[in-house]
Structure 1
Amino acid sequence: MSSLRIRDLLERKGDPLQLEPLTGEAGLDRVIPSAEASSPGLVLAGYTQRFAAHRIHILGETEITYLASLDGSGRRRSLETLFDFDIPCVVITKGQEAPAELLGLARAKGIPVIRTKLKTAEFYSRLKPFLDDAFAPHTTVHGSLADVFGVGLLFLGRSGIGKSECVLDLVERGHRLVADDVVHITRRGNDVLIGRGHELSRHYMEIRGVGLIDIQALFGIRAVRQQKRIEVVVQLEDWDAGREYDRTGIEGQETKVLEVALPLVTVPLNPGKNLTVICEVVAMNHLLRYGGVDSAQAFNERLIRRMAEKRQLQEYLEEDYE
């Protein structure tokens, strides 16, 4: 799990979320320990059981109106109940004025108070994807990622085996580069993996003998994309004459990345093999399976039916005594 400071939130999402710190530098280096945000309404009313203090706490119009309905001493007691907890920060929505007692207690405790002009529901909806991404499990792999017919193919294999050259050929055929050499992978939810390139090398490729090339400059904006869901892993390997390779595809292989199972296609390489077309077929075959058509399974069922028909014919002929 990543660590995220309040300062990071302001720097990265300050403009999109229209964030304005009301307590200056106080508490900006506090760590946000959770990807969740919630309202502390019940705590302000005095109910503190099961309070999730580790979340970002948002005061909307309802909470601010409630505080305004209290007299000075009641408002202070209510806010003291909240600030007795070690909360990361408080966010006030809809550009509302912060009660003086809130700002005073926040400064004393070193807890930042931030204001946004966004409505509460809109702020929640914009903040949550950012927090989910910041706290999502992630890893980095050495490989290449391409969008082929809308399918995210992650190419893995030893250095120099031809991953970049394969993706370059795919781009020339109209497909799209996502990342080359270094692929940052983030898990969203339980079963979605999103891959993207490093921000410095994005849209660049290293081709041995040629050097670094800018795919966007060479092929145009249509040849690149910022990120893509990873759906199939293509493992490129040197041909091994002594190894048995899958020739039917009935028993599909799988591999796990960040505990997410992905289809694995192992492609042995030898001179003359048209790797680019094979990768296009891998993508199209995945789309067929996603649509409920499994070519290998259909052929297997057809073969079993034919064998059964021949067996029935053989039994009939054996029992024909005329």
Structure 2
Amino acid sequence: MAALPLPDSIKKQASSLKTVESFPVRRFFERFGEPLELELVAGEMGLQNRKIREKSINRPALALTGYYDYFAHKRLQLFGAGEMGYLRSLVRERQQKVLKEIVDHNIPCMVVSRGLRPTATMLDIAKEAKVPLFRTRMKSKDFSAEATILLEQELAPQTSLHGTLMDIKGVGTLLRGKSGVGKSECALALVERGHSLVADDFVSIRLVGDRELVGTGTELSRGYMECRGIGIINIGELFGVRSVRLEKRIDLVITFIDWHPGMHEERTGLERHYFEILDHKVSHVEIPVRPGRDMARLVEVAALVHALKRMGHDSAHAFNERLIAYMQEHSK
């Protein structure tokens, strides 16, 4: 006797996708200039208008030789020791021609690594074309790795959802439901039990690395929660700094729904349900709300069950297999 196949059910988020298509060079410099050790040496006039349109970093070695097929002009252009050595080997007229061809492709900016000094021609071209030229003391490999991570975060697809995001023993749990259903009250009870609040009421979500969804709150409301009947409360001040997290990967979505007689309720846990955010499926559980139910305890258990499933322990499947084995044995 075989178990029935497990159907997948998927619910999609109602919020619209926001794709960040570009990142102004000025904002890049202001936000990441210090961690990337950037120093602006020329082309300040182009800071506002130039935009980075891809998250990867480009090394323009082939472009310096005049080969522009597949030239990634939308990316930040990084000049390392090899590129700078080649430039210095050229006469001034050749340097001008090569660099002008590169900036004419509407590149966002140029960065010289290892603390190397840009050539005089490079400074003149950057100033004339209004292309920001930076210098960093970081090695090319380290700069590429750090800058790619930072740009990936900024250029990641984004959306927002109404809900409350919690960190429950390492499981990022997004609580959803209509206004007034009890999401914040449940989150408050979870915080009292030692779990952490990430965002209340409004959750900003971005897709990082095309593989995981990361949720966070706004800077204005971070650490605050609206509790009906009491008002706005500061979670960090009431329960300590460990009760608040800046961001968390979203592993599980739990939707609170109003209970009514005769409604379908999950009884076995054999069916897999998903909630789709930014075209990525996240495990989804619906919990009916009715008087007397300890919603915080149910949410906590749902998060722990999800954690066990990720480690390969599925109680529902294990019991189903035991039941089938029992039925097979006693049918003989």
Q: Where on the TM-score scale, by shorter chain, does this alignment land: which range?
A: over 0.9
Task: Indicate whether 1:65 and 2:85 are aligned.
Answer: yes
Aligned equivalents of 2:93 and 2:51: distance in 1? 31
The SS at the match of 1:305 is helix
Q: Kindly report which structure 2 residues correspond to 1:42-121, keeping only aligned pairs within 5 A, or say none.
A: 42-121=62-141
Tell me the SS of whatever aligns to 1:255: strand
Q: Does 1:140 align with 2:167?
A: no
Alpha-carbon separation, structure 2, partners of 1:273 and 1:76 = 74
Please give the alpha-carbon distance, in whole angstroms, between the structure 1 residues aligned to 2:209 and 2:133: 30
> How far 1:21 sits from its partner (Å)?
1.5
Q: Indicate yes or no: 2:169 matched with 1:149.
A: yes
SS in 2 for 1:50: coil
Aligned equivalents of 1:198 and 1:261: distance in 2?
24
Match of residue 26 from structure 1 = 45
Q: Which one of 269, 272, 277 corresponds to residue 252 of structure 1? A: 272
- Deviation at 1:32? 1.4
The equivalent position to 1:5 in structure 2, one of 24, 34, 43, is 24
Describe the SS at the equivalent of 1:95.
Answer: coil
Provide TM-score, normalisation by structure 2.
0.91
- 2:197 aligned partner, one-letter code: L
Report the residue type matching 2:252 in the other structure.
V
| Range with greater deviation from structure 2 (81-90 or 292-301) | 81-90
Instruction: Measure, in 2, the Cα distance between the counterparts of 1:23 and 1:191.
Output: 37
Amino acid across the alignment from 1:80? K
* Contact 2:43–2:126 (8 Å) recurs in 1: no
In the TM superposition, what is the alpha-carbon distance from 1:25 to its structure 2 partner?
A: 2.5
Unaligned runs of 5+ in 1: 313-322
How far did residue 17 of structure 1 move? Answer: 1.2
Deviation at 1:24, TM superposition (A): 4.8
Q: For residues 121-141 of structure 1, give each alpha carbon's deviation from its aligned partner in whole angstroms, at most 9, with x where no partner exists.
A: 111111111110111011111
State the SS of the aligned residue for 1:170.
helix
Deviations 1:57-99 (A, max 9, x none): 0111111111111222222232233223111111111221111
Cα distance in 2, alignment partners of residues 156 and 18 from structure 1: 41
The residue matched to 1:67 in structure 2 has which SS? helix
Query: Shift of residue 49 of structure 1?
Result: 1.6
Structure with bigger gyration radius: 1
SS at match of 2:316: helix
Residue from 288, 293, 296 that aligns with 1:273 = 293
Aligned counterparts of 2:45 and 2:246: Cα–Cα separation in 1: 36
SS at match of 2:46: coil
* Structure 2: stretches of 5+ with no match in the other structure: 1-18
Secondary structure of the corresponding residue to residue 174 of structure 1:
coil
Quote the offset at 1:253 in angstroms: 1.1
Q: Which residue of 1 aligns with 2:306?
A: 286
Indicate the residue corresponding to 1:216 in structure 2.
236
What is aligned with 1:318?
A: none
Cα deviation, residue 190, structure 1: 2.8
Per-residue CA deviations over 1:237-288 (Å, capped at 9, x if unaligned) read: 1102132111111012111011110111100011000111111110111111
Structure 1: which amino acid aligns with 2:40? Answer: P
Distance 1:287 1:48 in 2: 49
Q: Does 1:200 align with 2:205?
A: no
Per the alignment, residue 13 of structure 2 pairs with none
In the alignment, is the contact (CA less than 8 A) between 2:76 and 2:107 conserved in 1? yes
Equivalent in 2, 20, 36 of residue 17 of structure 1: 36
Identity of aligned pairs, percent?
Answer: 43
TM-score (norm 1): 0.94
Displacement of 1:213 after TM fit? 0.8
Q: Which residue of 2 aligns with 1:309?
A: 329
Q: Structure 2 CA distance, aligned partners of 1:308 and 1:189?
A: 47
Amino acid in structure 2 at the alignment position of 1:8: R
Deviates more, 1:104-113 or 1:215-224: 104-113
